[in-house]
Amino acid sequence: MASDVLKNTEIKMKKQVEFFRKEMNTIRAGRANPGLVNNIKVDYYGTQTPINQMASVSAPEPRLLVIEPWDKNVLENVERAIMKSDLGIMPNNDGNVIRLSIPQLTEERREELVQMARKKAEESRVSIRNLRREANDELNRREQAGEISEDDRHRYQDQVQELTDTYIGQVAEIVEEKREEIMEV
């Protein structure tokens, strides 16, 4: 009945937090992270394929990413895709692997990255609040239809608010961790 509204809302909020966590992994923090190249797509025999699905990506040193395609014939395609991306790092192709040296970030660039992370966090919080609004609208609709009582609606709306507070808190924790990682010298 109305408990399915709570379950569906919680599932959607969890997915939103996970999506946000993945977005934070794509923000460069001055340290090598294999998640930096996850969103870069390479032309792999006519199909746009993410790098992490066609190569092993590792960070053997704090400022170095190594991309080793399983099919050596696509090394140049991977290199081209990295150059076209907004990563801002020139790849070094030695014929077997591609190395990405992560440069030291300036203080100004660190502040820009923190602002970008906060902007994405706010977008995520808005999405969670929209899920809360949708759940509350559904509870109101069910009350109007006589499926639940007014007391039940209030109780369920309180539970939806608790879920909202929990997941917005998780977003705040994630963005704070990312801020600390970015500002770390």
Q: Which class in CATH covers the domain with range 34-101? A: alpha beta
Domain at 3-25+106-183, CATH homologous superfamily: Ribosome-recycling factor (1.10.132.20)
Own/partner contacts of 66-73, CB < 8 Å, gap of 24 or more, are 66/97, 66/98, 66/99, 66/100, 67/37, 67/91, 67/97, 67/98, 67/99, 67/100, 68/96, 68/97, 68/98, 69/98, 71/44, 72/96
Question: Domain-by-domain residue ranges, the chain?
Answer: 3-25+106-183, 34-101
Least confident range from 45-54, 120-129, 131-140, 161-170: namely: 45-54
Residue 185's pLDDT band (cuts 50, 70, 90): low
Amino acid 28: pLDDT: 67
* Mean pLDDT calculated for residue range 140-157: 93
Over residues 9-33, the pLDDT tens digits come to 999 999 999 999 988 887 766 677 7
Over residues 117-128, the pLDDT tens digits come to 999 999 999 999
**Which of the two residues, 121 and 112, has the higher pLDDT score?**
121
